[in-house]
Chains A and B, each alone.
Chain A
Amino acid sequence: MAAAAAATAAAAASIRERQTVALKRMLNFNVPHIKNSTGEPVWKVLIYDRFGQDIISPLLSVKELRDMGITLHLLLHSDRDPIPDVPAVYFVMPTEENIDRMCQDLRNQLYESYYLNFISAISRSKLEDIANAALAASAVTQVAKVFDQYLNFITLEDDMFVLCNQNKELVSYRAINRPDITDTEMETVMDTIVDSLFCFFVTLGAVPIIRCSRGTAAEMVAVKLDKKLRENLRDARNSLFTGDTLGAGQFSFQRPLLVLVDRNIDLATPLHHTWTYQALVHDVLDFHLNRVNLEESSGVENSPAGARPKRKNKKSYDLTPVDKFWQKHKGSPFPEVAESVQQELESYRAQEDEVKRLKSIMGLEGEDEGAISMLSDNTAKLTSAVSSLPELLEKKRLIDLHTNVATAVLEHIKARKLDVYFEYEEKIMSKTTLDKSLLDIISDPDAGTPEDKMRLFLIYYISTQQAPSEADLEQYKKALTDAGCNLNPLQYIKQWNTTSFFHRAFTKMASAPASYGSTTTKPMGLLSRVMNTGSQFVMEGVKNLVLKQQNLPVTRILDNLMEMKSNPETDDYRYFDPKMLRGNDSSVPRNKNPFQEAIVFVVGGGNYIEYQNLVDYIKGKQGKHILYGCSELFNATQFIKQLSQLGQK
């Protein structure tokens, strides 16, 4: 049984690995890629559309593309010159315009041979369009291979994925929840989501058991997904889930659980101010597809009158799985991050000094006979020092990167007093007594941007058991408008509150004791050490808050469903099993055992706070894995924008 457990653990190979392997195979002309040190070089050109670009960029760096033999990588809809004698690998979505452009390429005879890979399945008619163009251009033999890749999702972390980036307005929270949506539009949105989820499960190689709440968009997705999976399984000839295609990834002992939740279950978390590194970076900086863009303001200088204003330096960094510091600390509370950067810097400096010291020892050679005996050791030391230089340089680069990023984050924290907001919101959400009145914080001109205040107020409004009285509400509204806030989001939330279903569901959950986390302010020890070491991260005036692990609503739902706990909020969730012969509608789960593997998917958008909460939750459980996905990834700013658009109508 231990072997089986190990097998399932290994089989839960991260989704990132799987997608990367699939991409590499595709780039290797659809043949599994084997590293051969004396293999002949083969070169090729990679053509992708924006969807393809978003999928590839978090997974493969330009260097890795080079290693696979790709000399050029180009956008489909760009001017491309004919390059004779080179095979071209296409990785595009099968849309009208893409197909047209590909046919044009065929007609213009741009490349030697064509390997066409479609991100999601192409329809028969479109395939015939390409066939037509190929015939017209007498290029049929040049089309070497055509593949449906089923990779229509973006993997950001080992256990986190997003549906899409390019057309996220289509599937955004706003798109799904706006009151004027027509049935056909809704159908399109649902189809897009289901297509991506389907691709996800094909790549994962497993057929999940689906649970979803009733009466929500999530339910629509569940129904459609179930139908699609079912159809595919029945079609014995073309099934994508047969034993041999699953290969080593077969979850033969346990099927994963897919929990589909709707964003409306919990609107407070996307607005929440946060305190962990990755979530902070996403909230405060421009963080997108694992790339953070910083604007470095080049210090305050006296510029002579009439001089042009200094250009701000833009820098962007990729936060990748190779970055060990990031992997270790992306879920840590910020003060810990600051301290760790300091520690890394110190250890790097120590190593640097080692290398420098050798230099001075070398200098003794001519003078001191006694040093000669040391010398033989030192030659070896020198060699190891020199060969470890690239490592040191890499370390330095990472330290610089994180110093810059963390400093930028810290600046925001200090300027907007985000620690105060965080603490306050945590208190609101956990219903502990508030030491400062909400009105005070909102009217305080120093603390935070208008948006921060709006977020705080909305969280308060969502989390209270009873709505504030009209008079109070007016007071708050006035204070908010004075602070410069736009009140549209509030309009929408009011609506949301009164929509009986959600409000009922939410208050049901909210009535559970301590539904959100509570924080304590850790004694000053940690902070004072950071300050005493003359750290760059002078966190004076910034509270050193420590998160106490409590579960967010989404995590709680998952916990109930995964551990088969009985709980009023999840008991009436629907149950779908695509592998069962007859789709029955019962809520009674056939499977009584707790699940080892679960995928949580939020329809309507998610964020890193939820992701981090899930990661923390599953850390405590041995041998269990969770994957988190959402239809789009937004930070609070983007979410507020959507809410205010919704509130305007």
Chain B
Amino acid sequence: MAVDITLLFRASVKTVKTRNKALGVAVGGGVDGSRDELFRRSPRPKGDFSSRAREVISHIGKLRDFLLEHRKDYINAYSHTMSEYGRMTDTERDQIDQDAQIFMRTCSEAIQQLRTEAHKEIHSQQVKEHRTAVLDFIEDYLKRVCKLYSEQRAIRVKRVVDKKRLSKLEPEPNTKTRESTSSEKVSQSPSKDSEENPATEERPEKILAETQPELGTWGDGKGEDELSPEEIQMFEQENQRLIGEMNSLFDEVRQIEGRVVEISRLQEIFTEKVLQQEAEIDSIHQLVVGATENIKEGNEDIREVPHL
């Protein structure tokens, strides 16, 4: 368990001060302690670098605060049910997205700039190392804050996709019930459906939507209330088949969605790796170039040596 002896230290400082005064020792700068200290410290190079680094950090901090502040509203899916204060329209969300992106871009540019400037005028190896490390930290901080943003955005996108999916599903249960009640009117449209081979989900939606007004006209036009049992059976079979087709379509689409998400994740990973490799390939390239030069020179030297 560590023991804090800072107070002890301060006490020692006082003791030493009084002792020195008593002994009449002129402590260099200690007499006008406070004034001298200030005087001493101002000409010290405050470090352009570190103040700018801190500026960048405070900017990133502002971005982070901004994102966190609006995070709750941003993610809130039920904004349409809540009161005005909690609501955030999509345009506002887009605005936040845009602002955040611009901000992030400026921050990363600032970091890049600092990086190039950091190595000028400095001769000490240690200071260079230190600055590189500091910039790495800042970049890491920026990445973490950007992750906040991208998480939010991913949630939002997912919500939108889910909503869309839900909204497409809704007509199905309605039309299903309608179909079973007014089966004869649907006989024509299902056959049309099967011929058209619906590949997208919008088409079934459209067709179903179409059948609704058609049902109306048909219902009015036909005037027949009776159906033969065979026809009923046939219609029911058609219904089942349609439902089956819609379901399989739906499954396929879901699969595709899943795959696309996976692919995007893979893309992310791959881009990262490729970027890493780029740096390494650059260094390998340098090495190879250097090696070729050396070999060339070596060959020349060997040629110069007169054969014995």
Residues of A within 8 A of B (CB): 22, 25-26, 30, 37-38, 40-41, 43, 45, 66, 69, 71-72, 74, 80-81, 83-86, 109, 117, 121-122, 124, 127-128, 130-132, 134-138, 140-141, 143-150, 202-203, 205, 238, 240, 245-246, 375-376, 379-380, 382-383, 386-387
A135's partner among B6, B16, B46, B141 (CB-CB below 8 A) is B16
Residues in A with CB closer than 8 Å to B287 are: none
Whole-angstrom distance between the Cβ of B144 and the nearest chain A Cβ: 6
Question: Which residues of B line the A interface, CB within 8 A?
Answer: 1-6, 8-10, 12-13, 15-17, 20, 27-30, 33, 36-37, 40, 44-47, 49-51, 57, 60-61, 64, 68, 124-127, 129-130, 133-134, 137-138, 140-141, 144-145, 148, 255, 258-259, 262-263, 265-266, 269-270
Q: Are A146 and B8 in contact (CB under 8 A)?
A: yes
Alpha-carbon distance A45/B130, docked complex (angstroms):
8
Q: Is the interface of A mostly helix, strand, loop or mixed?
A: mixed
Which one, A41, A147, A379, contacts B3 given CB within 8 A?
A: A147
Query: Can you sample 7 A-B contacts with CB below 8 Å?
Result: A41-B138, A81-B124, A81-B127, A127-B9, A127-B12, A130-B12, A149-B2
In the complex, chain B residues whose CB is within 8 Å of the CB of A147: 2-6
Tell whether, in the assembled complex, residue B4 and residue A138 are in contact, meaning their CB atoms are under 8 Å apart.
Answer: no
Extra inter-chain contacts (10) besides given A81-B125, A83-B130, A148-B3, CB under 8 Å: A25-B2, A85-B50, A122-B5, A131-B13, A138-B30, A138-B40, A144-B6, A146-B8, A376-B258, A376-B259
Are the CB atoms of B269 and A84 closer together than 8 Å?
Answer: no
- Please provide the 5 A-B residue pairs with the shortest distance between their CB atoms, ordered closest to farther: A71-B133, A41-B137, A85-B50, A81-B124, A84-B47
Whole-angstrom distance between the alpha carbons of A122 and B263 in the complex? 60
Q: Are A84 and B2 in contact (CB under 8 A)?
A: no
Assess whether B2 is in contact with A150, with CB atoms less than 8 Å apart: yes
- B133 A72 Cβ-Cβ under 8 A: yes
The closest CB in chain A to the CB of B65 belongs to A38
Report the Cα distance A117→B33, complex, angstroms.
25
Query: In the assembled complex, which residues on chain A have CB atoms less than 8 Å from the CB atom of B28?
Result: 136
Instruction: Assess whether A134 is in contact with B13, with CB atoms less than 8 Å apart.
Output: yes
Smallest beta-carbon distance A200→chain B, Å: 12
| Alpha-carbon distance A148/B57, docked complex (angstroms) | 33
B56 to chain A, nearest CB (A): 10
Which residues of the other chain, B, contact A387 by a CB distance below 8 angstroms?
269
- Shortest Cβ distance from A84 into B: residue: B47
Interchain CB contact under 8 A, B57 and A41? yes
Task: Give which listed residue, B9, B138, B266, contacts A386 with CB less than 8 A.
Answer: B266
A198 to chain B, nearest CB (A): 12
Which of chain A's residues has its CB closest to B139's CB? A41
Q: How many angstroms from the CA of A37 to the CA of B146 in the assembled complex?
A: 12
Contact B1 A240 (CB under 8 A): yes
A564 CB to nearest chain B CB (Å): 30
A145: chain B residues within 8 A (beta carbon) = 4, 6
Q: Given A71-B133, A85-B47, A117-B2, does the pair A383, B9 have CB atoms closer than 8 Å?
A: no
CB of A128 within 8 A of CB of B144, answer: no
Nearest chain B residue, comparing its CB with the CB of A36: B144
Q: Please measure, in the bound complex, the distance between the C-alpha atom of A84 and the C-alpha atom of B124, giving whole angstroms.
A: 12
State whether A124 touches B12 (Cβ < 8 A). Answer: yes
Minimum distance in angstroms from A359 CB to a CB of chain B: 13
What is the CA–CA distance of A246 and B137 in the complex, to the nearest angstrom? Answer: 34
Distance (whole angstroms) from the CB of B137 to the closest CB of chain A: 4
Within 8 Å CB of B258, what residues of A? Answer: 376, 379-380
State in angstroms the CA–CA spacing of A334 and B77 once bound together.
61
A376 near B255 with CB under 8 A, answer: yes
Return the chain B residue nearest A37 by Cβ.
B144
Q: Which of B3, B4, B57, B265 gathers the greatest number of chain A CB atoms within 10 Å? A: B3
Q: A26-B2, A72-B133, A138-B36 are in contact. Are A131 and B9 (CB under 8 A)?
A: yes
Q: Is the CB of A138 within 8 A of B33?
A: yes
A135 contact set on B, CB distance < 8 A? 13, 16-17, 20, 27, 30, 33
User: Taking A85-B50, A135-B20 as contacts, is the C-beta distance between A72 and B2 under 8 angstroms?
Assistant: no
Pairwise interchain contact B3-A128, C-beta atoms closer than 8 A: no
Residues of B within 8 A of A138 (CB): 29-30, 33, 36-37, 40
Q: How far is the CA of A218 from the CA of B259 in the complex (A)?
A: 69
- With the chains together, A131 CA to B14 CA distance in Å? 9
* B253 CB to nearest A CB, Å: 12
**Which among A25, A85, A140 has the greatest number of chain B C-beta atoms within 10 A?**
A85
CA–CA, A85 and B255, complex, Å? 55
Question: Separation in Å of the A97 CB from the closest CB of chain B?
Answer: 20
The complex places the Cα of A84 from the Cα of B6 at a distance, in Å, of 23
Shortest Cβ distance from residue B288 to the other chain A in the assembled complex, whole angstroms: 22
Is A43 a contact partner of B137 (Cβ separation < 8 A)? Answer: yes
Inter-chain contact A130/B1, CB cutoff 8 Å: no
- Which of A41, A43, A149, A238 has its CB near the most chain B CB atoms (within 10 A)? A41
Return the chain B residue nearest A23 by Cβ.
B2
Distance in angstroms between the alpha carbons of A131 and B13 in the assembled complex? 5
Query: In the complex, what residues of A have CB within 8 A of residue B125's CB?
Result: 81
Q: Judging by beta carbons under 8 Å apart, are A150 and B1 in contact?
A: yes
Residue of chain A at shortest CB distance from B5? A146
Are B57 and A140 interface neighbours, CB within 8 A?
no
- In the complex, what residues of A have CB within 8 A of residue B50's CB? 84-86
Our pick among A72, A85, A124, A150 for the contact of B126 (Cβ within 8 Å) is A72
Residues of A within 8 A of B13 (CB): 131, 134-135, 140
Q: Which residue of A lies closest to B138 (CB)?
A: A41
User: Given A41-B141, A83-B126, A85-B50, A66 and B133 touching (CB < 8 A)?
Assistant: yes
Q: Complex Cα distance A80/B45, Å? A: 17
Contact A136 B29 (CB under 8 A): yes
> What CA separation (Å) do A205 and B1 show in the bound complex?
7
In the assembled complex, which residues on chain B have CB atoms less than 8 Å from the CB atom of A140?
A: 10, 13, 33
- Chain A residues in 8 Å Cβ range of B46: 84-85
Contact of A43 among B9, B12, B15, B133 (CB under 8 A): B133
